[in-house]
Amino acid sequence: MKKIILASASPRRKELLEQIGLTFSVVPSSAEENIEIQDPKELVSELSKLKAADVWQNNKDCCVIAADTVVYAQGKILGKPTNRSHGEEMIKMLSGNMHTVFTGVTVQDENGAITEVSETEVYFKELTQEDIEKYLERNEYSDKAGAYGIQGYAARFVEKIHGCYSNVVGLPLSLVDRLLSEKGVN
């Protein structure tokens, strides 16, 4: 059986893979993520490929899983906020609106890489300034694309989703499972 590596330091991605019973090790990618691509699907696809290739270079006997997630709202790509006011700006942009979460997933082994993108629409209710302040006080926004995690306090803001829930958390499990199967990994 091929050794599996998750090329991410994300605790959420690690938890998701553990949830489906996968045995793997974690080797975060150190690839530079300075890519100037404006299309969110293309961006997450390229970044996941870059991360997978970076980790695979030193682990060529393994199967590497890499991912990248962005939130796309009102024609803008939202990554992780740089500070509290940036997080507040993002949450205000999402309030009362639909946004799309894109995650690019790459699975790479000695036979090459397979990359696909998962897309989930998320609808936020209209938020009051008090809702936003209470949320920001919890500091959950700081390390998440779009300044929120659907699995945390911000779950109360979500009216509905269309698509894969685990994609919004950070790793679309059904897609990962299918890509691993295509690589012959159970």
Residue recorded with tokens 């302040």: 133
Q: Are 43 and 49 in contact (CB under 8 A)?
A: no
From 68, 109, 131, 177, the catalytic residue: 68
Beta strands 158-162; 62-73: pairing state = unpaired
177 noted as active-site residue: no
Integer angstrom CA distances of residue 53 from 56, 60, 162, 178: 5, 10, 31, 20
Integer angstrom CA distances of residue 182 from 16, 80, 89, 106, 186: 20, 31, 41, 12, 9
Integer angstrom CA distances of residue 67 from 44, 59, 98, 124, 165: 8, 17, 23, 24, 15
**Cα separation of 67 and 58, whole Å?**
18
**Cα separation of 58 and 66, whole Å?**
14
- Which active-site residues does the annotation give? 68
